[in-house]
Structure 1
Amino acid sequence: MNPKHAAAGATILWGFTYVLTSTMLPPNPMFIAAMRALGGGLLLLLLVRDLPPAGWWGRLIVLGTLNSGFFFGLLFIAALRLPGGVAATFQALGPLFMVLLAWPLLGAIPATRKVGAVLVGAVGVSLVVLRGGAAIDLVGVLAALGSALSVALGALLSHKWGRPRSLLGFTAWQLIVAGVELSAVALLVGDLPATLNGTNLLGLLILALFLTALAFVLWFQSIEAGGPAAAAPFLLLTPVTAFVVDIIFRGLVPGAVQLAGVALVIGSLLYSQHVDRKAFRPAHHHAKP
């Protein structure tokens, strides 16, 4: 699959997480995060039945923690403590973190036009989702920034280190690592639902299968084939997708400012594909431990 199509597919799928969480899942964020990671990882492992080389376990723990563990946990903390628009605006800085951190981690100096395109996209996200008078909570802000930084670091290290064997196995074990970590946190803080009904179970299945297992396979495929520079701007599609889903399923009527924000995001994505194309070298398909 074309790496840009894979990145777009992954980030669009992630945009459905918000409506699924609010309509089909129990109000237990750490439990949801744990089931999302553990369920997605186990489903993939059933397909591939792959064990990584012994020398890769340290890297898988680091990557699983960054790409899913910290990312999911901090994301839900931000969602609890901040209005959704504020959280999404801070998380829209993730593509900028990814482009800038590529300099010290990969030795890739970002083109000024590339940074500018990502910044324009972040402004577009803020116009789409931010509301006037939104409350600012310092812990929530730090959590939102931390989740964005975590997924940026995880993507860059995934590109730098490559993968040991199959892409499905590589994705599965990262999710399982995160699932174990998040399960421990959920048990520690007692964030467990009293009961689960049929709707909750269906929602967890959709979350694990489509919005986690499938989405992360597409995300890692895009990074491996095209590099972080090509994948990073597509993270801006997640809040925009959530906004469009609200229009379709919740009857939200967009204003002129929000429509202008969507146009800025799409424009920044189109422009970013024409600049800085060779800032990153392609990842090796099978890295040695």
Structure 2
Amino acid sequence: MAVNACDAPIAPSTTARWATPVEIGVLGAIWGASFLFMRVAAPEFGPAALVELRLALGALVLLPFLWKARASFPLRLWPKLAVIGAINSAIPFLLFAWGAERAPAGVGAICNAMTVLFTALVGALFFGEKIGLARSVTLGVGFGGVVVLASGRIAGADIGPAVMAGSAAALLYGIGINLVRRHLTGLPATAVAPATLLCSAILVLPFGIAQWPATMPSAHAWLSVALLGVMCTGIAFVMYYRLIARIGAGRASTVTYLVPLFGVAWAWMLLGEAPTLRMVIAATLILGSVAMSQRAK
């Protein structure tokens, strides 16, 4: 999941000092679980129907925030929101759902961590941001982790296509974050999220209808979709923006390190998808490069 906001932190209370680490941990667990839910639901719903339901449910949960700030969203702004929504939500969600049909849930969670590195790379290539030698090296290390992950096989199956899909989704997240920073600055972040999700849901709707499963999905698949949309998309966004308001976007982004760990752990505990040595090496390279990139920044 990729989100972005520029809210400045407010002074934390005594309660917030101990509550913040707990909330970051809970948010990492929720977003890590999103890859588990996609892994369960994607084979029965297919990517398009799954993503349509996820986007619609997430937008529905966040709709009150958009309604409250509706005066800040004139009609001329909505085409821009639709483009950013496609780049930052609709297409990445479809890519991750497609990958979830073909590889363990932990693979997508590990690829998602590349968002931080792609954000820096896109900023340097297209928006004139300087990354310096140290961060350039960390980018190389992170991409090396992707190569390690993509070259592996799990249970005899080639996971390369799923890794490429997850990496492409992370790249789009990186592009989307840069676009949000430059074109939606000043708008309330809690309203931007439902606006882009709503636009994305409308864009994906024809594909979701066309590819709606012929056989009724199981109760487990429906439950996974509901949790993916309501909890992992809607409620998680609210939690994230609360954290940003309290401690700032920089510190709140530390949840990036927890998502792959929880994603792999949930898949192992609940689906029996044990991490391979290659997955561990790739995750170490990618998360290590993210940590070094943030420190260099």
Give yes or no for TM over 0.5. yes
In the TM superposition, residue 111 of structure 1 has moved relative to its aligned partner by 2.3
Which residue of 42, 45, 53 corresponds with 1:27? 45
Distance of 1:72 and 1:16 partners within structure 2? 14
In the TM superposition, residue 261 of structure 1 has moved relative to its aligned partner by 4.9
1:49 and 2:71 aligned: no
- Per the alignment, residue 114 of structure 1 pairs with 135
**2:30·2:236 contact (CA, 8 Å) conserved in 1?**
yes
1:122-145 alpha-carbon deviations (Å, 9 max, x no partner): 54566679734652676x676444
Which residue of 132, 157, 162 corresponds with 2:179? 157
Distance of 2:195 and 2:235 partners within structure 1? 14
Distance of 1:59 and 1:67 partners within structure 2? 12
Distance of 2:24 and 2:123 partners within structure 1? 18
The amino acid that maps onto 1:150 is L
In the TM superposition, residue 23 of structure 1 has moved relative to its aligned partner by 3.8
1:130-178 alpha-carbon deviations (Å, 9 max, x no partner): 734652676x676444322221111111111234543222111110111
- Per the alignment, residue 158 of structure 2 pairs with 135
In the TM superposition, residue 28 of structure 1 has moved relative to its aligned partner by 2.5
Equivalences for residues 18-97 of structure 1 within 5 A: 18-23=35-40, 26-50=44-68, 51=70, 52-80=73-101, 93-97=114-118
Aligned length: 272
Distance of 1:186 and 1:91 partners within structure 2? 23
The amino acid that maps onto 1:18 is F
In the TM superposition, residue 211 of structure 1 has moved relative to its aligned partner by 0.9
Q: TM-score, normalised by structure 1?
A: 0.72
Gap runs ≥5 in structure 1 = 277-289
Distance of 1:152 and 1:222 partners within structure 2? 21
**1:121·1:236 contact (CA, 8 Å) conserved in 2?**
no
1:72-116 alpha-carbon deviations (Å, 9 max, x no partner): 122223344567676666665443322111024432111222233
Moved more, 113-122 or 88-97: 88-97
Equivalences for residues 1-20 of structure 1 within 5 A: 12-20=29-37
Q: TM-score, normalised by structure 2?
A: 0.71
Structure-2 change in CA distance of 1:47 and 1:170 (3 Å): closer
- Per the alignment, residue 168 of structure 1 pairs with 190
In the TM superposition, residue 186 of structure 1 has moved relative to its aligned partner by 1.4
**1:67·1:151 contact (CA, 8 Å) conserved in 2?**
yes
RMSD: 4.1
1:206-257 alpha-carbon deviations (Å, 9 max, x no partner): 1112211233456678899547x995x8656544332122233345555666
Distance of 1:91 and 1:84 partners within structure 2? 11
Moved more, 173-182 or 214-223: 214-223
Identity %: 22
